[in-house]
Structure 1
């Protein structure tokens, strides 16, 4: 039995990233109903909005699903209590110390997974007692690591040192890339950007179309002094780049970023002034599809790749 399939009790070792402004109950339930693990992104939700999404997800699927909790957000304790009250069985934590809530959640019978971008933090998460790790290369969209370790390098380095299940993330949008990271030692994959360009994602249709139109080099990792984030290049990105030329202070960067910049871009569809978080793999995403078709395509391509590799004679 595949470790990730067994841990989450799912059909395929495919986890949907819990992305802000994209991962509502519609996306999560669609992924779970299609055989993967859907994940609600709590980072863009007030506590009571999260409760509503959990309740709607329960009605839309009888399959397992999880909630992603970025630990740098306010109302963290309230969010954790809502997850427990609503009997969510799987929690992904990120952007913070895994020791903070892992023991507490596990005492409540919850499976805990922590998202990391380096071997150092993977070891800390394992020592904190998490059940699995998502190791995310810097190709990934959204908030990311400062070390710029690629998925190709990160996965075998983490696999070599940990003993718990490993989920690969960053730059994965096809079955062949899924096959590649599992060949490197991953037990499953977490996919974000490909699910942004799905019919069920809650992100704005204009943002989805910009993802589809993106080419190689259209994203960049920036704002490392605050929290590293990979985004599409637009006017806001250009404003950030121009500010860096002047050697800005952290306060100047915070002033430019302002509040709700990601919501403005990804949820409200302001492609000029918004922060448009997406991965490098957007250059391989050419259409907006239903989740069921995306997962079917992944599995077909994975199996084709496996057969192709079996025919290679070295």
Structure 2
């Protein structure tokens, strides 16, 4: 495959692994990069510059392909800056920025040979990221897992809107987990895809508890809910007694202080690491399309084959027009 995304990031397939807070470690990142995509490790949930440096170097022992480091900079009050310095010192090939205004990051890496991706959920964000100098955008629709945009725009509408509004390449995200989604992204004007939830249910996502992975496999697309709407930071999670209780408490007027213990990163980790039902797990609606836990290479092989079959089907429908 050849798009501007593959050319910019030096990868075989325009498939990017999401930042995946608390789960995006060297094993998964390297597996995605080795399969031809762009794997990522997550910086801010690693916590310290030393741990990030160790993880970056670990990736390089597992792959010689390009990879990225994700910076989820919301609510970190500049505490990511020491982590960013490590990424610069280690000369990482790419970074992605999610969760807040990326301008301070762009100002710091100016002149460094680092490719950049910015996650957006609307046209204005996309245009701002382009003005700041982003190499590519990841536009996430309402179907996605984890934190989402406040305007509740679905992927089917968001991707054409963003691709029409900017000149830089766009990756589609939200509701994509197989070759059909990859092909659909191309049809909508995107030049690649970003996936999060689908990569959790892989063998190389070694930090995710088996219970979490199996819940993703067993669940239907209707088994997700959105928490934290009233707090201004909506996010899609697995439906459970805990997450339904969070929503009910929000309806009753609970504040962030009231909810902070049960919506915290610690509560998230207690479920995704230990299977503790008192916690919660981020997922997207794409869980309805996930029915196995393959290796990353097996996932890529299946996706490319499915996309090729889909393209052939479209060719049969369109007839000679596809050859003109």
> Normalised by the size of structure 1, how large is the TM-score?
0.96
1:62 pairs, out of 50, 61, 64, with: 64
Q: Distance in 2 between matches of 1:99 and 1:2?
A: 26
> Cα distance, 1:269 vs. partner?
2.1
1:266 aligns with 2:311: no
Q: Distance in 1 between matches of 2:93 and 2:318?
A: 45
> Cα distance, 1:102 vs. partner?
1.2
Q: Is contact 1:135–1:169 with CA below 8 Å preserved after alignment?
A: yes
Moved over 4 A (4+): none
> Cα distance, 1:158 vs. partner?
0.4
> Cα distance, 1:167 vs. partner?
0.7
Q: Deviations over 1:171-211 (max 9, x none)?
A: 10010111011111000101111110000012111111111
Q: Alignment RMSD, CA only?
A: 1.4
Aligned twin of 1:127: 131
Aligned twin of 1:80: 84
Q: Is contact 2:44–2:83 with CA below 8 Å preserved after alignment?
A: no
Aligned twin of 1:71: 73
Aligned twin of 2:249: 243
Give the stretch that moved more between structures: 215-224 or 132-141.
215-224
Q: Which runs of 5+ in 2 are unaligned?
A: 320-324
Q: Deviations over 1:260-291 (max 9, x none)?
A: 11111112321x11121011001110111100
SS in 2 for 1:311: helix
1:193 aligns with 2:197: yes
1:304 aligns with 2:271: no
> Normalised by the size of structure 2, how large is the TM-score?
0.93
> Cα distance, 1:247 vs. partner?
2.2
Are residues 184 and 83 of structure 1, via their aligned partners in 2, closer, same or farther at CA, if it must alter by over 3 Å?
A: same
Question: Number of paired residues?
Answer: 313
Q: Deviations over 1:125-183 (max 9, x none)?
A: 11111111110101111111111111100000001110001111111001011101111
Q: Is contact 1:166–1:186 with CA below 8 Å preserved after alignment?
A: yes
> Cα distance, 1:244 vs. partner?
2.5
Aligned twin of 1:209: 214
TM alignment of 1:137-148, pairs within 5 A: 137-148=141-152
1:100 pairs, out of 104, 110, 114, with: 104
Q: Distance in 1 between matches of 2:59 and 2:262?
A: 36
Q: Distance in 2 between matches of 1:188 and 1:103?
A: 26
Q: Distance in 1 between matches of 2:302 and 2:287?
A: 16
Q: Distance in 1 between matches of 2:18 and 2:295?
A: 16
1:168 pairs, out of 169, 172, 197, with: 172
1:292 pairs, out of 289, 297, 306, with: 297
Aligned twin of 2:187: 183
Aligned twin of 2:21: 20
Q: Is contact 1:105–1:112 with CA below 8 Å preserved after alignment?
A: no
Q: Is contact 2:217–2:287 with CA below 8 Å preserved after alignment?
A: yes
> Cα distance, 1:259 vs. partner?
5.2
